[in-house]
Structure 1
Amino acid sequence: MIHFLMIVSSAGKPRISRFFSHQTEQIKTQTAVINLCQRDGKKEGFVSYKDMTVVYKLYSSLYFLAGVSQDENELAVFELFQNLVETLNTYFGKVTEVDILFNMDRVYMIIDEMIIDGHIAETCSSRTLVPILLMDAAK
């Protein structure tokens, strides 16, 4: 199960944060996880945090982080990151931190289409983008 998904700038500022399970201290969890991943000094990897594994990967200037339970496949989470980045690139062109800052609602919608209740539900970019493209067409 995926407990949380975050998109963080390379400077360590959280840009998107979605929790799929109850965390009593979300801000503290966010700060601790970001510090752990930055201290590691790698562009991708796994870090243990409390009772979960944090999977992270750097794409250009954005870190994608996910806290998963011990029974979740970490490589599947890497594939989820790749699908998420490809979907964001399809929608925004080449996704940047500015795109995420000014279109948070769209990014949250894409994440919510891909992950439902902490489980990967959809990995096809074209199917993920259908609701957003329909909204954009209605404007």
Structure 2
Amino acid sequence: MPIRFFLIVNKQGQTKLSKYYPLKDGSIVALEKRIPMEGEISRRCLRRKDNQVRYASLFFILGCDPGENELGMMEFVHCCVETLDHYFQSVVMYNIEKVHILLDEMIVNNYIVEHSKMKIVEPVQAMDKAR
């Protein structure tokens, strides 16, 4: 399941996290295209009702190729939410660098490689202990 981008947007429409992955040709979406794209995606999310696809006042948005397994993508978003909740004790993120590390444990070369919360948080917990 190739992932193109992962966004976390709050209910005010502010992008709290954006992570882009290389396209098939190895390029990444240009910065000047990201801002308007994120704005349009945010506007579409904000039009949804409160009970639709939102966790703790945040929208978790996954960009993938058309025709991908939507249920698989929704499962992955749910895994991300559970992992962040497990590590931070809430879905609210205080340390964005650690969120990037956690995502890097889940997604490698555009593909989802890990679903186990315990395995995903192990490296970050090891870094925490080393301090």
- Count of residues paired in the alignment: 123
Secondary structure class of the residue paired with 2:54: strand
Unpaired runs of 5+ in structure 2? Answer: 23-27
The match for 1:62 is: 58
1:40 Cα deviation from its structure 2 partner: 4.2
Percent of paired sites with the same residue: 31
Unpaired runs of 5+ in structure 1? Answer: 45-56
Give, in whole Å, the separation in 1 of the partners of 2:51 and 2:71.
15
Select 1:23's aligned residue among 22, 29, 44: 29
Question: Does residue 128 of structure 2 align to residue 136 of structure 1?
Answer: yes
TM-score (norm 2): 0.86
Aligned pairs for 1:23-42 (under 5 A) are 23-24=29-30, 25-41=33-49
Q: Does the aligned pair in 1 maintain the 2:79–2:117 contact within 8 Å?
A: yes
Select 1:120's aligned residue among 103, 112, 117: 112
Secondary structure class of the residue paired with 1:58: coil
For residues 24-69 of structure 1, the C-alpha deviation after alignment (integer angstroms, 9 at most, x for no partner) is 311121111111222344644xxxxxxxxxxxx3002111001110
Question: Does residue 102 of structure 2 align to residue 106 of structure 1?
Answer: no
TM-score (norm 1): 0.82
Which structure dedicates a bigger proportion of its chain to strand?
1
Alignment root-mean-square deviation, CA:
1.4
Q: 1:18 to 1:43 in 2, by over 3 A?
A: farther
Higher RCO (Cα < 8 Å, 6 or more apart)? 2
Q: Which amino acid aligns with 2:88?
A: F
